[in-house]
Structure 1
Amino acid sequence: MPSSSSAASDSGRPVPSSLWRDGDFRRLWVGQTASQLGEHASLVVLPLVAVLTLNAGAGQLGALRAVGQAPILLLSLFAGVWVDRWRTRTLMALTDAGRALALGAAAVAGFLGGLGLPALLVVAFAVGALSVFFDVAYQASLVRLVKRDQLVRANSALEGSRSAAQIGGPALGGALVSVLSAPIAAASSAVFFALSTVSIRRIGRRESVPEHSERPPRVWRRIHEGLRFVTGDTSLRTVCLASATFQFFFAAVMTVYLLFLPRDLHLSGTAVGLALAATGPGALLGSLLAARLPSRFGYGAVLVSAAVLGDGVFLFVPALHGSPMVTIPALLTVNFAFGTFSQLVNVTVMTIRQTVTPDRMQGRAAATINFVGMGLTPLGSLLGGLLAEAWGTRTSLLVTAAGMLLSPALMALSPLARLGRTLPAPPESTDSPEITSE
């Protein structure tokens, strides 16, 4: 098995000590930023088209979000097998090209007057399926592109770009749906995915695939190997359980949230996009903090405290009343705080997962955690829609937001909370250096 350093220098030239002097890393960063911008725009565009243009009800909105999230449950494990056998650059370029085509088709259907709820469901499923493969591939690509002692900084840089996308994506999507039209809103996301495809295809470094044999093990055996590795590691097992709890209740929260803002608080599509975009600056701050805080306070302490603060802030949302002059600043504050602490959790968890996982298992480990962690999101979205219909949005928001706090509780009771300022090397790469945030 090639080490991460040999894989990173497969082209015959070592990765520069400074990430930003590495042209291939910059191309990955640009491609990922464009892809995330398109994704965050589409995550707002499709629900707002359903609510504001097609007058979808709570149950229909829950179904739309569930259909878009169903591929996580259906395809994540298979995506991990593919990623461990294919070059990640190829997979990322193909999946973003596919997402551009799917949203482009939605734009054409809108211009022709055929963009109804059935068409939105098809587009949501297609985009969700391709997103599963992209997300697993890009997480594995980083380990193949940079050295292990650069992972904290590289993750911080990539998550920082995702933060920038969270600033522009929701605001752009909400404004386009509100001011222009649904077809133009869908087409805007397609453009960003096309830009990502071009940038990622320009990555020149020859990528080493960790496992390659003439007769590879069967798919189900490889899936089983990934499941066994993750469940056999205490830290990764806890990450799975905590992530599953958070994502289930967060999906329910967001379904109710997207109804609460335009209908109870009477916010326009632009205002909804602006409120959601506040997550982006917070996430940018969280990415910067993630590069420093674990080395000072320890990975476990940072992980648990950030999860408590990030999840708990949503408990304030159901209490909001009054005019947009009051509610919008409050929502901006809540979303900024949520973005800061949730991003701190995301970067810390990703670094832990990448560090304790051998190169040959990176794709399957990421896919298994995605499968377990996000596989229940379709049910969470459906639950949010059902609760909103039965109890109203305020009560539903309070209950589902409280449920999110079960995630940090699980982490606090596990060995994750006791992780210190360094992380152990993966079991099959004991010669790799320990990872710190310095």
Structure 2
Amino acid sequence: MPPASSDVSDSGRPVPASLWRDGDFRRLWVGQTASQLGEQASLLVLPLLAVLTLDAGAGQVGVLRAVGQAPVLLLSLLAGAWVDRWRTRTVMVLADAGRALTLGAAAVAGLLGGLGLPALLVVAFAVGALSVFFDVAYQASLVGLVERDQLVRGNSALEGSRSAAQMAGPALGGAVVSLLSAPVAAASGALFFALSFLSLRRIRRTESVPERSEGAPRVWRRIHEGLRFVAAESALRTVCLASAAFQFSYAATTTVYLLFLPRELHLSGTVVGLALAATGPGALLGSMLAARLPGRFGHGPVLVSAAVLGDGAFLWVPALHGSSAVTVPALLAVGFVFGTGGQLVNVTVMAVRQAVTPDGMQGRATATITFVGMGLTPLGSLLGGALAAEWGARTSLLVTAAGMLLSPALIALSPLARLGRALPEHL
């Protein structure tokens, strides 16, 4: 039975009275939620396993995180060019299958006693590479499923599920590592990716792709077209710069944070997972607010205020000492505020990016922003590990957290800060 609809769009496609009545959107939402659960769990399991089980040092943790983030720098632009030439659903299901097999193999290696640091590096790189393709594809896929005026609501729903994954994934990963074993933790991530694979394969709507002809641009030319488009569009150019500043500092901050919690505050793996999971409820709130606040106060003011609120929250963490009754609630509060502000920024920026980008450029625009915005994260992780080894975790955490405030400063000085209530076509 076709989804209930109350209108027909200019493109002739039925517009559901509610996104939740659209079966294909629900399948995308379920698949993306399961995928994010697997990804968030694995992001915590690997470094936490290195710290608590393999007794990895600060430099080794930085290297492990850098290896997992390196595919963003190496593969984002290529992923964007491929996504614009293939069905996004095909890219997503293949990425899910690959990640499920990779983590499944890690679970088997762990059961056989072979899951050491070299194996973790291989797994981190493989999962990171496949995640790059999945993330570019799922962001581009929404444009083909909903109408322009539904982008904010659609992104709010998808980012809300990502928020829930940020809450449940780290908590699950930390608990499984602490209570069971690393192989079981790896297996749980593989199961989530398998669930995503099954859900996304059930999407029924036919997705059109550009025809491939002998005269079609080569991959590198298509990558160049994406880079040139983003560079020429002031809104996207600002998003790239602000994202790069944030992601670099955040990668350094997170590396130090993962050392600071167990070693300076003496928190267990379960509590560390809960501290990281606190961003989930905040991000869920941020997703709901993002569906309302930009239309009421303007996209620009929401972007600036949310970025300052979220990024500034981590400045309180270096003041904490010991595993006292105050420390854990304070960490939960910091995570909640960071998640709320960060998600407000994510959803609002995503809607702006989708609105100003033509359909045939969605994958490459997403990939270019990912490449520029997150390409420096491996260097940030290495810097965080190096600073922690040289200065200690507390001082390093204060320095790297302060660096995160460069991102809202760049937004405040750009045309993005002046965006009104309506989504722009270009700036």
Secondary structure, aligned partner of 1:142: helix
Counterpart of 1:190 in structure 2 is: 190
Letter in 2 for 1:194: A
Counterpart of 2:367 in structure 1 is: 367
Aligned runs of 1:31-430 on 2, under 5 Å?
Answer: 31-210=31-210, 212-425=212-425
* Uncovered stretches (5+) of structure 1, i.e. residues with no partner: 1-7, 428-438
What is the Cα-based RMSD across aligned positions, in Å? 1.5
Q: TM-score, structure 1 length as denominator?
A: 0.94
Deviations 1:186-222 (A, max 9, x none): 1100000000000000001101125644531011110
- Residues 66 and 378 of structure 2 are in contact (CA less than 8 Å); yes or no, is this contact kept in structure 1? yes
Letter in 2 for 1:25: F
Secondary structure, aligned partner of 2:407: helix
When residues 211 and 281 of structure 1 are mapped into structure 2, their CA distance, relative to the original with a 3 A threshold, is: farther
Letter in 2 for 1:391: W
Q: Distance in 1 between matches of 2:76 and 2:133?
A: 7
Letter in 2 for 1:349: V
Deviations 1:228-250 (A, max 9, x none): 00000111000000000000000
- Residues 166 and 280 of structure 1 are in contact (CA less than 8 Å); yes or no, is this contact kept in structure 2? yes
Q: Distance in 1 between matches of 2:269 and 2:123?
A: 21
Aligned length: 420
Q: Distance in 2 between matches of 1:142 and 1:92?
A: 13
Shift of 1:40: 0.5
- Residues 264 and 322 of structure 2 are in contact (CA less than 8 Å); yes or no, is this contact kept in structure 1? no
- Residues 27 and 200 of structure 1 are in contact (CA less than 8 Å); yes or no, is this contact kept in structure 2? yes
Deviations 1:47-94 (A, max 9, x none): 111011111000000000000000000000000000000000010000
- Residues 10 and 205 of structure 1 are in contact (CA less than 8 Å); yes or no, is this contact kept in structure 2? no
Q: Distance in 2 between matches of 1:379 and 1:240?
A: 17
Shift of 1:327: 0.9
- Share of identical aligned residues, percent? 82
Secondary structure, aligned partner of 1:164: helix
Letter in 1 for 2:295: S
When residues 52 and 292 of structure 1 are mapped into structure 2, their CA distance, relative to the original with a 3 A threshold, is: same
Deviations 1:315-346 (A, max 9, x none): 00000013342211000000000000000000
Q: Distance in 2 between matches of 1:278 and 1:269?
A: 14
- Residues 211 and 360 of structure 1 are in contact (CA less than 8 Å); yes or no, is this contact kept in structure 2? no
- Residues 210 and 359 of structure 1 are in contact (CA less than 8 Å); yes or no, is this contact kept in structure 2? no
Q: Distance in 2 between matches of 1:372 and 1:331?
A: 30
Shift of 1:413: 0.6
When residues 214 and 149 of structure 1 are mapped into structure 2, their CA distance, relative to the original with a 3 A threshold, is: farther
Shift of 1:166: 1.1
When residues 248 and 111 of structure 1 are mapped into structure 2, their CA distance, relative to the original with a 3 A threshold, is: same
- Residues 11 and 205 of structure 1 are in contact (CA less than 8 Å); yes or no, is this contact kept in structure 2? no
- Residues 358 and 426 of structure 1 are in contact (CA less than 8 Å); yes or no, is this contact kept in structure 2? no
Letter in 2 for 1:55: D
- Residues 352 and 424 of structure 2 are in contact (CA less than 8 Å); yes or no, is this contact kept in structure 1? no
- Residues 35 and 196 of structure 1 are in contact (CA less than 8 Å); yes or no, is this contact kept in structure 2? yes
* Uncovered stretches (5+) of structure 2, i.e. residues with no partner: 1-7
Shift of 1:167: 1.3
Deviations 1:12-42 (A, max 9, x none): 8624131000000000000000000001100
Counterpart of 1:17 in structure 2 is: 17
When residues 211 and 400 of structure 1 are mapped into structure 2, their CA distance, relative to the original with a 3 A threshold, is: farther
